[in-house]
Amino acid sequence: MSTHTNGRERNATVLVGAQFGDEGKGKLVDYLSNQYNIVVRYQGGANAGHTICFDDKTVVLHLIPSGIFNPNCVCVIGNGVVIDADALMKEIQTVRELGYSVEGRLFISHNAHLIMPYHKLLDSLSEQTRGERIGTTMRGIGPSYVDKFSRVGIRIVDLLSPDVLEEKLRFNLEHKNNLLTKIYAKDEVNVEELVNHYTAFDRSINDFVKNTQVYLNDELKKGKAVLLEGAQGSLLDVDHGTYPFVTSSNPTAGGACTGSGISPIHIGRVIGVAKAYMTRVGNGAFPTELHDEMGERIRKIGHEFGATTGRPRRCGWLDLALLKYSIAVNGISELALTKLDVLDDFDEIKVCTGYKVKGKIIKDFPTDHKTLSQLEPQYKTLDGWKTSNRNAKTFSELHPNTKRYIEFIEDQLETKITFISVGPRREETVFK
Ligand code: GDP
Ligand code: IMO
Ligand code: MG
């Protein structure tokens, strides 16, 4: 067999949320970014809130990849992302104010779709009028992807041609205003105001626009290393998650290819990020959710409030059956376990190893809403460690019971845990 790689080096790594989002992906991407030349966001939009803590700063990024605070790293917003252009310009400004340059190191795919103010309006109206609410972030994500798949969406590239943009906007607004007035009995969106705003859009955005599919493939050919940063989590995936309580994109590893233009042939590693317990924000099944004082305690210690919306996150025990499913659909080759320090004070820690439905053991993770709501989690109880591991730098420095907890998870999942996060800060990370 020839060993010639023919430009097919497997230099790309995908990092995905293995649960319901907010697993600490931002922290991990920032921590890992010094090992990569390029970090790429491939799906979702400003529904994401990725927190990074370094020096004395805490920053929440929504659209810009979490490698931006590593000056040697180029950041790419891929074609699969839906972009609120106003929110993006504000975020660029925030990064600059923190003293980081974005010139020549932030690129936006010309093919990425835009989120317009009417998408946010329709997001909110669709929530108000459906039976059980999804609990979306109201960032216009679903309606923007609807337009993309209906082939009427407006893309970043259209911002570069004001006449094309105006034509597309007027066409869209006619339809959206019909929907708003006739279906939702609401006021029309002011067409001229919106056309004026977008046709006169801050031209400084032009410098960031690039054919990122070609760029990324050229860089991979040169041997550059690429980290693909997932947003949301695997169980929020529109295909593999707890539908309909999901987001409107594919956070799972497959989405990294379609959302960036990088072929699966280049993916050498898939890192799954999982919290040492579980949280979910918004509605939908959560088999191990704690409705008692214990859930409240986790929320308080873990500061479990949404980084984008500030909503309290629902909390529960770690679910290994769910993680097994997540490992399978993503092809997760290694795990990063985060927020382990949140469990420092617990006498006992429970872990779900499987489910029963109507007295019968279930082997596979169901994704239909009815079965999910009937699951009875089966727990294994482990001893807590009642001490802080915050100063640990190596696995051997962790408390024996912490090591036991980690090894139990690895054994059950048959997957190694290579990163252990014991605090929000960059340096509070143990590499195993
Ligand atoms: P993301 O969306 O996956 O990037 O995660 P979020 O930023 O929404 O939520 C994770 C939260 O946990 C943030 O506030 C982080 O600063 C924080 N965090 C990340 N890792 C750790 C950790 O190991 N310990 C603690 N205590 N906090 C962490
Ligand atoms: P990060 O990247 C957690 C949830 C919402 C809602 C559902 C659909 O920070 O992990 P949407 O606005 O996407 O249509 O909402 O998905 N959701 C998230 N939950 N973390 C996120 O992003 C999320 N992005 C969306 O709460 O249940
Ligand atoms: Mg988040």
Is 22 considered catalytic here? yes
Query: Which of 119-123, 323-327, 331-335, 392-396 shows the lowest per-residue confidence on average (mean pLDDT)?
Result: 392-396
Give the domain CATH number at 387: 3.90.170.10
Can you give the pLDDT at residue 175? 96
- Give yes or no for a contact between 195 and 56, defined as CB atoms under 8 angstroms apart: no
Give the domain CATH number at 191: 1.10.300.10
Residues 167 and 105 in one domain: no
Decide if 4 is inside a domain. Answer: no
Which of 51, 69, 229 has most ligand 1 atoms within 8 Å of CB, for mutation?
A: 51
Cβ of residue 231 lying under 6 Å from some atom of ligand 2: yes
Instruction: Count CA within 13 A, CB hemisphere, residue 83.
Output: 33
Query: What does pTM read for this prediction?
Result: 0.97
Per the structure block, which two tokens stand in for 384?
A: 């807590």
Return the residue whose CA atom lies nearest to atom 1 of ligand 1: 22
Residues 383 and 262 in one domain: yes
Distance CA 135, CA 21 (A): 14
- Give yes or no for a contact between 127 and 136, defined as CB atoms under 8 angstroms apart: yes
C-alpha of residue 18 to centroid of ligand 3, in Å: 13
Can you give the pLDDT at residue 269? 97
Mean pLDDT of 121-147: 96
Choose one of 207, 236, 255: the last residue of a domain: 207
Is 319 considered catalytic here? no
Can you give the pLDDT at residue 5? 60
Can you give the pLDDT at residue 4? 53
Residues 130 and 185 in one domain: yes
Domain total in the chain: 2
Decide if 198 is inside a domain. Answer: yes
Which of 137, 246, 338 has most ligand 2 atoms within 8 Å of CB, for mutation?
A: 137
Decide if 417 is inside a domain. Answer: yes
Residues 67 and 138 in one domain: no
Residues 123 and 82 in one domain: no
Decide if 58 is inside a domain. Answer: yes
Return the residue whose CA atom lies nearest to atom 23 of ligand 2: 232
Distance CA 402, CA 340 (A): 8
Instruction: Give the number of the ligand closest to the Cα of residue 54.
Output: 1
Can you give the pLDDT at residue 190? 95
Residues 203 and 216 in one domain: no
Can you give the pLDDT at residue 2? 41
- Give yes or no for a contact between 117 and 189, defined as CB atoms under 8 angstroms apart: yes
Mean pLDDT of 373-398: 95
The SS3 call for residue 378 is strand
Please list, residue by residue across 333-353, b when 16 or more beta carbons sit within 10 angstroms of its beta carbon and e when fewer do: bbbbbbbbbbbbebeebbbbb
Residues 331 and 287 in one domain: yes
Ligand 1 nearest atom to the CA of residue 26, by list position:
4
Cβ of residue 281 lying under 6 Å from some atom of ligand 2: yes
Which of these, 317, 271, 282, 311, lies nearest to 297 by C-alpha position? 317
Return the residue whose CA atom lies nearest to atom 11 of ligand 2: 136
State the pLDDT confidence band at 6, using cuts at 50, 70 and 90. Answer: low
Choose one of 182, 207, 232: the last residue of a domain: 207
| pLDDT tens profile 57-114 | 999 999 999 999 999 999 999 999 999 999 999 999 999 999 999 999 999 999 999 9
Can you give the pLDDT at residue 3? 43
| pLDDT higher at 326 or 390 | 326
According to DSSP, residue 206 is labeled: G
Share of the chain above pLDDT 90, in %: 94
| pLDDT tens profile 183-213 | 999 999 999 999 999 999 999 999 999 999 9
Which domain does 414 fall in, by range?
Answer: 9-111+211-431
